[in-house]
Amino acid sequence: MASSPTFSKVSLLLLVSLSFSYATSGFNHEHAYPPQSQAEMLTRNLNLFPKDPVNIIKGDFDSFVPGKIVEKKFSLLGHSGPSIQHLGHHAGHYSLPHSKAARMFYFFFESRNNKDDPVVIWLTGGPGCGSELALFYENGPFHIANNLSLTWNDYGWDQASNILFVDQPTGTGFSYSSDDSDIRHDEASISNDLYDFLQEFFKAHPKFVKNDFYITGESYAGHYIPALASRIIQGNKENQGIYINLKGLAIGNGATNPAIQYQAYPDFALDNKIITKANYDEINKLIPDCEQAAKTCETQGGQSCAIAFNTCQKIFYHILDFAPGINYYDIRKKCKGDWCYDFRNVETLLNLPKVKSVIGVSNDLQYVSCSKRVHEAMMQDYMRNMEVEIPSLLEDGIKLLVYVGEEDLICNWLGNSRWVHAMKWSGKKAFGKSPTVKFVVDGSKAGSLNSYGPLSFLKVHEAGHLVPMDQPKAALQMLQSWMAGKLT
């Protein structure tokens, strides 16, 4: 039996005069990218350098109570801001019952407008990156100023929802364990952890049980989201606990069906003049091996999936060889200096002792922005096709929105469009024939949309991999319209 949540009230005035001396990193594209460098590429290009590769705290077993939530109400805005009670901001750790000693960290922000708004969970990808990257740079309530003070995000998704940001899998962000065996390797264990968390979360916050529920996220969350949705539907149908009122899932610039998406890389790169026709012809010679390796992964699993990943990644790496310095999250940009984005303030802010205190995090726990260890542990999961989970969800009336910034290379719109159109479900033909209509924001075209029944595909203009960061107003309107059934 889980114990009752523990609540306390704390506020913090962040010092606006705090300064930070920036260190530069040296990273350049090379002609060979061994698999173990994948995580380093991810963190360095985001200018993230976590002190630890994973959150493992040895010997912390005594206080572990499976199924327990310990949560705090907090404010990071200081005494001049709204009261803690008015804000409805929460942070907590949940002790995962199917683990030796793993705690899942989360933030929960109640809607700024109406507590009857849907509950939305956001999952950041990587795999292995903390949800705070989205919280502070994309669609959370705040942005971090250069002096580490916080400012309101006018287009935070808490304007239209009660939103959860979760650090997962174990070892990511402020989620941690005392046992190495708690590091996850597959979607089954990850989705079970998230389902267990949601059950206890709704027990702790019963007034939100009746609200509509949506699963959202980006990048590698294209794996997490379908797996969690399927787990929730299973739990609902088998009466395993609290009924979660799942209405839809939204995948942003996702990695969902790798076999199809890898094959789209050369076409996207050529169409956007990233590579030449001669480069294209050379890279295309790698596709048959990738296609066969992906099929072997689906039938055999295990190590064959790691082999498939290494085989297919050659396609992507060859494109980078022909386009050195490109920001593969946004092809309009070159990487600035030694990094592609500057997200280092999130690590600095969250590792401040005063900030840890206000959100209930032990001072000896380091914030791991992107965990190399978690990333590498998921090696055999990369090539699994998670699109296979979706058709049954659509047939059950669960909505799917796939939205993609058109300037992203790594999870580009073309590859996403191809797997969405190839997906076998009862509405496949009708969706394929659906007219492409304008997605309009403030009277201007902000994207192009195809929809039929529960399925929508939105290509967002002037956006890269991080749509809510690049086009915050469009992203918020997208969410509002889609949840209201008006994204047509």
Catalytic positions are 219, 408, 465
Short-list 452, 413, 478, CA closest to 264? 413
Gap between the Cα atoms of 245 and 399, Å rounded: 12
| 135 three-state secondary structure | helix
| 188 three-state secondary structure | helix
The tokens for 12 are 């913090």
Gap between the Cα atoms of 412 and 217, Å rounded: 15
Residue 107: its H or E element: strand 103-109
Residue 144: its H or E element: strand 142-144
Gap between the Cα atoms of 74 and 481, Å rounded: 30
The tokens for 347 are 């690590």
Gap between the Cα atoms of 484 and 488, Å rounded: 11
DSSP-based helix, strand, coil % in the chain, nearest 5: 40, 20, 45
C-beta of residue 57 within 8 angstroms of C-beta of residue 361: no
List, in sequence order, every residue forming a beta bridge with 120; answer none if it has no partner.
163, 214
Short-list 113, 228, 217, 93, CA closest to 161? 113
